Amino acid sequence: MSSPRVVLGAVALALSTAALAGTRRLDVETYRDKVHGGWLGKNIGVLYGEPTEFGIQWPKPGEPHKITWRGKELTLENTADWFVKPNGAHDQDDCYIELITLEGFEKFGLALTQRQVAELWQLNRPAIWCANAAAFNNFHNFAIWPPLSGHPAFSGNTTDIDAQIEVDLMGLISPGMPNTCEKWARFQAGITNFGEGTYAAVFIAQCYSAAFFDDDIRSTLQTALKKVPAESLYASMVRDLLEWHAAKMDWRDARQAYAKKYPQAHGIHAVANSACVILGLLWGEKDHTRTLQISTLAGWDSDCNPSTAAGILGCVIGAKATPDKWKEPLKDSYRNTTVKFYKNPTPISELAARMAAVGEKAILAAGGKVVEEGGKSFYEIPIEEPAPPVVDKATPEEIKAIRKEVLTKAMATLRSPSVAAKVTEEPEQRVRQAVAETDEAMRQIQRVCQLDRTLMDDSVVASVSQLINSSWPNLAFRAAMILVERDDPRAMHVLSRIIGLEKAPERLLAIAAFGRYAKDETCAKVLLDAFEKESDKKGAAARACLKALRGAPAPILLKVADMADKMEPALRSALRGELNELRKGAAPEVAARFADLSVKQVFEKWSRDWTVVDLGPDMSPGIRAEYLAKANVLMTHPLDRANACYLTRTVELAAEKKHRLEFAVASHDAAGADWELRVLVNGKELLRKTIGPVDGKPAWQPITVDLTPYAGQKVTLRLENAPNGWSWEGGYWTVPTLASE
């Protein structure tokens, strides 16, 4: 260990109050074990709840308890029915967002800034949703950097769950230091959330922080509550659950009491999902299995909630005391496919050790020490008297003022000496710097104008309009996008010009933006011409043109269909998702035309006899050379949540013979993956079966369908890969064969 040490003589307990006033002592090995336990629990919980995410159904408050998932009633006793033991942990947004922050700490130390974290998001491009996606959109597309990226002035997702599932690290690096913990929790939360969303993050981080010195769950929750504004919705929820638990209310009654009292906070709301976490922690009574079950069955975002609950519990008891039945399936392996800084896979224990190393730096920075006694190492941690919780406020007037301030600063940049003048006066590098600064200002102006048109006065329009003819396509594009907010017809002409610049980086964005004019036949023709230039390619421009053409007049769409009809099958297959979308909401003749050409495929290397119809684009469907020890497998996916993908074949069955259809099907190997197989003959359903794991593992399931009743007839066979939950719905097929005797 490279940190400074003070060597003392007496032996102390692993966890005790230090003799020195104002500090507490924590055994270094205990600290590391608790960090490991927290990170381990987080991975266990998210994998446990993964199949059920937003799939748990509850009755209305006041009705008899009947918790269902995919049509099956669930209790604490049968929750194992959904859980497939993982072969190691895999990437989840609950985990990789924190790993990006950990990367930031390891690269920049405790001087890490929120903007540096945001820039690491841009580097790693994680899959994100809700408040995370809103924040990323703000800083990536509009140069609205943290903390404004998660502020109500620029985000409508400030109360979402995101921050509370991404602050475990901040609690783990702040053992027993409530003020330090709050600082770091707000650092992370401020990128994406505000108000109730941030209070949730502070509370969850505080639970971890308190767990290093308190193994009583109720006491830990009460300690964490001190850092949440008493008047907040979040604090009210925590107080209620503590009260209902003390009154020995059944956990299901408590869940429904919450649902009734807080109708404004359901779904992805941080308060609702924290309630599920607390239900699991209180009513789970420090039992890992029961904690996982209750926090999952409570519903809503039911993979994040057991992840947080099991993480906190893991920190309370440590990795060594975590039951083997939960930690062994993870095989101390995290399959990292998001954060480029860490190898794939990375041991869970290694990631925990990296977190603990950052934690040591945080302890020392807060005035702590590393001391040695009797051959053991301890942290001497300053006792922090909890400061009053920070209250987030954002009135409509304050929101408008913040937007106006951003606009004013951006306009000042815009009104500085022009780029055109700098071209002749400054070296090229300075010109590019001026263009970059102008581009950032234009992005900020665009975002403000999107959110509040009343701030877009004539002076803003006049300044922006000076750039519509800029030789820099990025500046012309941004000018057009700002003018769009005033329905200025000049915007349409600028976008049309940029679409014609095939090498302009902004061309794809211009194509996408031009889709707002696609209902006008003249404008749709611009997109049609662009698509014609791209129609022999699989690139993003062709896709962008097709997406922008949704809602275009029927004559234009029929011309698109004619072009698609002349494409090579492989190219048409690559664009099938976008071509399928053009069917939706289109005139009947257009829908029929696209249905006829864009969704029927024959995979000749798999089978020439079967045609695949309505093949959805998810999970990269197509031929697999091998899957689950079978060769030449076809993987399909439903078109969308409402429409099955299906295999079809028309065949004449000989009279006076017995006939049967034989094939095998399987599901994807991810936890919770399944789909519904339907077999129809001449439109009549003969078989319906859920295809999922067998004995907890993905496996081939042999299917035999008796066709003897149809002997002597010409029949159309239809084998459907139907959606049933929209979670890893890919279907795997061997070639269906007809046997006659």
The answer to whether residues 59 and 132 belong to one domain is: yes
User: Which contiguous run of DSSP H or E holds residue 122?
Assistant: helix 114-124
Residue 388 lies in a domain: no
Domain end residue (candidates: 546, 570, 598) = 598
Domain end residue (candidates: 514, 531, 546) = 514
For residue 2, what pLDDT is reported?
Answer: 36
For residue 539, what pLDDT is reported?
Answer: 77
User: Which contiguous run of DSSP H or E holds residue 41?
Assistant: helix 28-49
The answer to whether residues 495 and 620 belong to one domain is: no
Q: Band of the pLDDT at 239, cuts 50, 70, 90?
A: very high
Residue 55 lies in a domain: yes
Residue with tokens 């000496």: 417
Report pLDDT digits (tens) over 547-567: 999 999 999 999 999 998 888
> Which of 238-242, 415-419, 577-581, 689-693 is predicted with the least confidence, judged by mean pLDDT?
415-419
The answer to whether residues 212 and 236 belong to one domain is: yes
CA distance 92 to 194: 23
For residue 670, what pLDDT is reported?
Answer: 78
> Which of 149-153, 388-392, 713-717, 725-729 is predicted with the least confidence, judged by mean pLDDT?
725-729
Residue 247 lies in a domain: yes
The answer to whether residues 472 and 524 belong to one domain is: no
pLDDT averaged over every residue in the chain: 91
pLDDT surpassing 90 at residue 380:
yes
The answer to whether residues 65 and 191 belong to one domain is: yes
The answer to whether residues 96 and 163 belong to one domain is: yes
The answer to whether residues 592 and 632 belong to one domain is: no
The answer to whether residues 616 and 592 belong to one domain is: no
Task: Tell me the average pLDDT across 579-591.
Answer: 84
Phi-psi category of 296—alpha, beta or left, where left has phi over 0 and alpha has psi -120 to 50?
alpha
Domain end residue (candidates: 514, 549, 579) = 514
Residue 85 lies in a domain: yes
Task: Tell me the average pLDDT across 169-179.
Answer: 98
Contacts of 695 (CB under 8 A, 6+ apart): none
Tell me the whole-structure pTM to 2 decimals.
0.80
CA distance 252 to 75: 10
How far is it between the farthest Cα atoms of the chain? 96
pLDDT surpassing 90 at residue 510:
yes
Domain harbouring 635, CATH code: 2.60.120.200
pLDDT surpassing 50 at residue 516:
yes
Residue 378 lies in a domain: no
Residue 455 lies in a domain: yes
The answer to whether residues 463 and 583 belong to one domain is: no
The answer to whether residues 116 and 199 belong to one domain is: yes
Report pLDDT digits (tens) over 34-52: 999 999 999 999 999 988 8
> Which of 174-183, 380-389, 393-402, 464-473 is predicted with the least confidence, judged by mean pLDDT?
464-473
The range of the structural domain enclosing residue 236 comes to 29-369
The answer to whether residues 234 and 106 belong to one domain is: yes
Residue 624 lies in a domain: yes
Residue 382 lies in a domain: no
Task: Tell me the average pLDDT across 228-251.
Answer: 98
The answer to whether residues 567 and 524 belong to one domain is: yes
Domain harbouring 45, CATH code: 1.10.4080.10
Domain count, the chain: 4
What ranges make up the beta strands (E) of 544-673? 600-601, 611-613, 622-627, 630-636, 645-652, 659-667
pLDDT surpassing 50 at residue 297:
yes
Closest CA to 11 of 260, 376, 330: 376
Question: Are β-strands 23-27 and 376-382 bridged in parallel, bridged antiparallel, or unpaired?
Answer: antiparallel
Question: Are β-strands 5-8 and 369-373 bridged in parallel, bridged antiparallel, or unpaired?
Answer: parallel
